[in-house]
Amino acid sequence: MTSSSPATPPGAPTRWGPLGGLAWGVLAVAAGLRFWGLDLGLPHLEARPDETETLRLTLEAAAGRFDFDWAIYPHAYATLQWAWAEAVLALGALVQGEPAPAMSEVWQREPARLYAIGRGLSAVAGTGTVALLLGLVRRELGGRVALVAGLWLAVNVLHVRESHSLKPDALLTLGLTACLAATAAMARRPGARSAVVAGVAVGAAGAMKYNGVLGALPVAVGAWWAAAGQRGLRRLLPAPLLLAGVCAVAAFWLFNPFLPFNEEAHDVVLSNLHAVFPEWIDHPAGRAGGAPVPIEGPGAPAWIAAYGAWGALAYHCAFSLWYGVGGIAALATPIAIVWGFCSRQVLLVACAALVVVWFIVTSTSPVALSRYITPALPALAILQAAGLYAGVQRLGPRRAGLVLACAAILLLAQPLVASVRFDALAARTDTRVLAMDWLAANAVGARVAVVGTRFWHYGEPRLPAGVRRVPLRSGAPVERSGVDFVVTHDHELFWSSVPSGFATGRASRLELLVDFDPRVGGEGVAVFEANDAFYLPIAGFGGVTLPGPRVQIYRVR
């Protein structure tokens, strides 16, 4: 396929024209899917792993301390979250005609509000990514391709899901999309201005999450594309590419001024990198010396081991892509990548290179999570939309619009249904919240034991004020443990597992009072991600009616 496939010449000034209304419709769909169910799990504060850790850093920033020791994510993300939260709180107070509350006060009175505000930044970033994608693709490939690409990303369940999280994935995806836009601009008008913009885009992407530095790859493609007529060193290292690299490093440092000098943060980063790439990076010995204590977690699905070093890649192809973008789009992905490399259009080549390298780097880690491929989705959306339009054009221009619409419906139906069902489920009250409300109404002053927790506590219902948690004494009869109520949480996910026969073996001493079962009335097979302590499925939503584990509350007789 040649560069004749785009609807308009690359970089040509275009207008939406009659397609403008459809573009606004795509943006409305994107916003609706990202803001619907944004309060998922609240006021339970552990509905999504890592959110609490990130939020605590924003509270440190609110107290005037920006040199964080916790650096699994770059400091810039927490700083941005702090600025966003302060702005939202100030705006809300202005509307209500009241003084703006301090973040520490809000954290003490209504912490769930800060979670919702933080997730709101991800929802805004996710919607903004769709808007940026629409504008970029319209300029480079035409309005019809832009609509398909924008809708592809707007309804994508992975991008919708990460736009609900107080985590940097949505902002990282926005940053990488900005890198793609800068790539096209650099190839079209190479110079200092486009190089600085591209470098800042790469630095900003890396400042949200370290792997954002891979945004340098499409920028390099744009620089090499513009230097095609050069020879020797000027071809290999063109001046715009060098300038972009300097600006990327400077931007990352500017956004994270304390990170390069914080040794404790360095240890955290190395420890995290060791967990992700254990064969490549050694665990830091720590300041006190000694080897790290091994921990037993859930581990990857067993079938990954059959593929050896290719296991994570097989997982992302068979699970992340299949459920994350839909079966048809997953099958079309390798075709779209090959077509992108052969297209002779700089944006498509850059997208293909980014998708391939992103999957390779992500798949070198034994930690397999579908959200890791989310930042590459805008590039994949461009490839699939442009490839689909090029294929439709071959059928003849007279029916191209109708055929394109029908093909887009087939391509996007599965992810759209998944996103709608995800949001509908996220908007319902979590079983952990139902249990917390029941305890607040019926167990004030009681002593409660929680059974089922493994490794992490994400599956546990949060105990309300006035309820005291006590442990069950190992080997002692439950009635002699000083416990009034026993709360169990059970699920197919690793983190919630009640010992077999726990209740039946104590039937004479435990009276079941309430059973919050998320599968009551649900039909079908729900698909959860085994490695993620997230109690919402990624597919098979018909098998689940509520988010959360199964929670049962017993009275001790």
pLDDT of residue 312: 85
Q: Would you say the C-alpha torsion 230, 231, 235, 239 has a positive or negative sign?
A: negative
Residues contacting 380, CB < 8 A, separation 6+ = 325, 333, 336, 351, 355
Number of H helices, E strands in the chain: 20, 5
Report the distance separating Cα 88 and Cα 82, nearest Å: 10
CB count within 10 Å of CB 395 equals 12
pLDDT of residue 280: 67
pLDDT of residue 290: 43
Closest of 68, 74, 42, 31 to residue 163, by C-alpha: 31
Query: Looking at this protein, which amino acid is placed at residue 340?
Result: G
Q: In which residue are the tokens 């665990």 written?
A: 283
Q: Where are the beta strands (DSSP E) in 335-452?
A: 447-451
pLDDT of residue 13: 47
DSSP 454: B
Pair of tokens at residue 321: 């892509």
Return phi, psi of residue 88, to 5°: -65, -40
Report the distance separating Cα 246 and Cα 184, nearest Å: 19
pLDDT of residue 288: 40
H or E element that contains 554 = strand 550-556
- What percentage of the chain's residues is helix, strand, coil (to nearest 5)? 60, 5, 35
DSSP 512: E
Q: In which residue are the tokens 């029908």 written?
A: 406
Query: Rounded to an integer, what is the distance from CA 281 to the centroid of its chain?
Result: 24
Report the distance separating Cα 462 and Cα 439, nearest Å: 10
* CATH code 3.40.190 region(s) in the chain: 431-556
CB count within 10 Å of CB 289 equals 6
- For helices 111-141 and 143-154, the axis angle rounded to 10 degrees is 160
Q: What is the mean pLDDT of each run of 10 residues along the chain (557 residues)?
A: 44 67 96 97 91 91 88 90 95 92 93 96 98 96 94 97 96 97 92 95 96 95 89 85 95 91 74 66 56 53 70 90 95 96 94 96 86 96 95 77 87 95 96 97 94 91 93 75 92 92 84 94 84 92 93 94
Residue 464, preceding peptide bond in cis (omega within 30° of 0): no
Report the distance separating Cα 358 and Cα 372, nearest Å: 9
Cα angle for residues 216, 217, 219 (degrees, 5° grid) = 65
Give whole-number Cα distances, 14 to 22, 135, 142, 329, 349, in Å.
16, 10, 7, 28, 22
Cα angle for residues 432, 433, 439 (degrees, 5° grid) = 90
The listed CATH number (3.30.420, 3.40.190, 3.90.930, 3.30.70) that belongs to domain 431-556: 3.40.190
Give whole-number Cα distances, 177 to 16, 19, 360, in Å.
20, 22, 19
Backbone dihedral region of 226: left (phi > 0), alpha (psi from -120 to 50 degrees) or beta? alpha
pLDDT of residue 293: 45
Cα angle for residues 131, 19, 334 (degrees, 5° grid) = 60
Pair of tokens at residue 417: 């249904």
pLDDT of residue 294: 47
Report the distance separating Cα 506 and Cα 443, nearest Å: 21
pLDDT of residue 533: 92
Give whole-number Cα distances, 211 to 204, 234, 275, 362, 374, in Å.
11, 28, 15, 9, 12
Q: Are 467 and 448 in contact (CB under 8 A)?
A: yes
Pair of tokens at residue 27: 């943006």
* HEC per residue, 309-342: HHHHHHHHHHHHHHHHHCHHHHHHHHHHHHHHHH
Pair of tokens at residue 356: 């391939």
